[in-house]
Amino acid sequence: MESKQLEKEVVFVSKVSVTKSKKNGKEYITYRITIPMEKAKELELNDGDYLLIKAKKAKWYHLLNWEEMKNVYNMLPEEIKKEVDELKRRMEGSGVSLD
């Protein structure tokens, strides 16, 4: 029987930077993301490796540490709380803390 190793999946929020360049009269736009060092180590990334990225544009509430703002968290609409909780669960499952 063949054993399959589960692929490592990590979750993190990253800022996008954009650079524009021209080559042979054509304009190109490059979007870059920064991967936290601990996440790169978890994924065992090497130069030249490819990543499969499932991306979603972050909203303002993805960028805050809700553990430090429990009173404000309690005032959030239920749908935002649900999304924050799901992100927290996924990040904790991948070894990331929102703290």
The residue-averaged pLDDT of 65-86 equals 93
pTM over 0.85: no
The residue-averaged pLDDT of 32-59 equals 90
Q: Do 36 and 12 form a contact (C-beta atoms < 8 A)?
A: yes
pLDDT bin (cut points 50, 70, 90) of residue 96 is: very low
The residues with which 21 forms a beta bridge, in sequence order, are 28
CA 62, CA 11: separation in Å to the nearest integer?
12
State percent of the chain over pLDDT 90. Answer: 52
**Is the pLDDT score of 48 beyond 70?**
yes
Helix-strand-coil split of the chain, %, nearest 5 = 35, 15, 50
pLDDT at 98: 46
Q: How many CB atoms lie within 10 A of CB 96?
A: 19
